[in-house]
Amino acid sequence: MAPIFRAEQIGSLMRPPKLLAVREAAGVTAPYSQIPKEIHESTKAAIAMAVARQLELGVRPIMSGEYDRVVFYSGFFENLAGIEVIKAVPVPEGYRTSFPTVRILQELGISTRDSIMAVDRIRHTHSPYLSEWHALRSLLPPEQWCECKLTMPPVTHGHMQMAAGTAYLPSVYKDDREYFTDLAAAYAAEFRVLYDAGLRSIQIDDPCLLFFVTDEFRSGCEADGVDPDALLDLYIWAHNQCLAGKPGDLRVGLHLCRGNMAGSTHIMSGSYERIAKKMFSELEYDTYYLEYDTDRAGDFEPLRHLPIGKNVVLGVVSTKSPDMENIDDLIARVNAAARIIAQGQGRSTAEVIDTSLGVSPQCGFSSMSAGGGRGFTMDRMWEKLLLVKQLAERIWGTQ
């Protein structure tokens, strides 16, 4: 199963300064902020400009740039019945021991952060993201809706960050599986609503799943009395529960990176090797969007575990460095990755390139409103996306 698009993008785009100024003036800065109706027009105008630019340049899939959100995970959990935003959770006390993001927050001098908790049974009573999809699709004729993609945060988001045992009230859920059963049902319901409204491609962003490759996170789990391997198994099960019963022609992919905070800050480094076999063989996603722009991600060897029938979009173009990559070097890297996959699958490199690979930036360009890589400009962002398109055209003759 080949990727829908050979040239991809990961979702977030740098926000126009005008949009940032309007939101700052309105106090829309916290991750779970509700955007006031009076500034919705500014958001709509920014999305319209971004879509027009994508159409002009031939960039696909067409996306809203996550302009509707403050952070990539905004908008979903806080709009589910039973979920409550917990203000000013203390850092590090309110989070898992040795949680890598906490280390970065402490280095930045951040002492509290908002989070989420289930205070009642989780229910999907209305669609959190249908309005986002309607805003995007309204800018396109129906025949182009299939060229779009929407991003969603991972089912593990709150549970993985909060101190062990605090993602839900013990009076609400007796154990983690009961909690995830309800939360996954909300995901399945959201998939169905978006699908029925014409969406055919969704990307789940789970930067924290890669924490399982680090000794830092794993030792923190053990300090909390949690078996990290059992926790990973739980998360794989929870992800798969979200996908159970999804429409057959709804493509849902998983994006994994090592953090994308403002100023090119990443949270951790390390190869996929420690979780690759389990990730590729047990997670039931169609597509894996993988960060591969620098040696921060390790080598391509973990790709030998990719089974036939799944595909990988190689994030070989950096959103952290404004330097432009050499397209011939990128082609060589794609071929190197294909050789590793081919060896693992017992197929030819040409078969793998034909059926199992795409290319993209390694991450979004601004996973939070005021983000963006160090030295990046809006012009350089579009140049990078054009480079991805040109790379795909060189390899496959199409994007």
Q: What is the CATH number of the domain that holds 218?
A: 3.20.20.210
* Residue 260 domain flag: yes
The residue among 254, 210, 257 whose CA lies nearest residue 373 is 257
pLDDT in tens, 227-267: 999 999 999 999 999 999 999 999 999 999 876 655 545 56
Q: Give phi and psi for 340, each to the nearest 5.
A: -65, -45
For the residues of 195-209, what is the DSSP string, one character each? HHTT--EEEEE-GGG
Q: Return mean pLDDT, the chain.
A: 94
Q: Is residue 76 part of a domain?
A: no
| Residue 55 falls inside a structural domain | no
The model's pTM is: 0.95
The boundaries of the domain holding residue 375 are 121-396
What's the CA gap between 106 and 93, in Å, rounded? 12
pLDDT in tens, 65-107: 999 999 999 999 999 999 999 999 999 999 999 998 888 888 8
Stretch 13-34: mean pLDDT, rounded? Answer: 90
State how far the alpha carbon of 53 is from the alpha carbons of 59, 322, 383, in Å.
8, 19, 12
CB 257 within 8 A of CB 291: yes
Looking at residue 77, its pLDDT comes to 98
User: What is the domain count for the chain?
Assistant: 1
Q: Quick check: is 388 in a domain?
A: yes
Query: 135 pLDDT exceeds 60?
Result: yes
pLDDT (average), residues 196-222? 95
Supply φ then ψ for residue 258, to 5 degrees.
-115, 30
156 inside domain: yes
Q: Find, among 314, 256, 248, the residue nearest to 5 by Cα.
A: 314
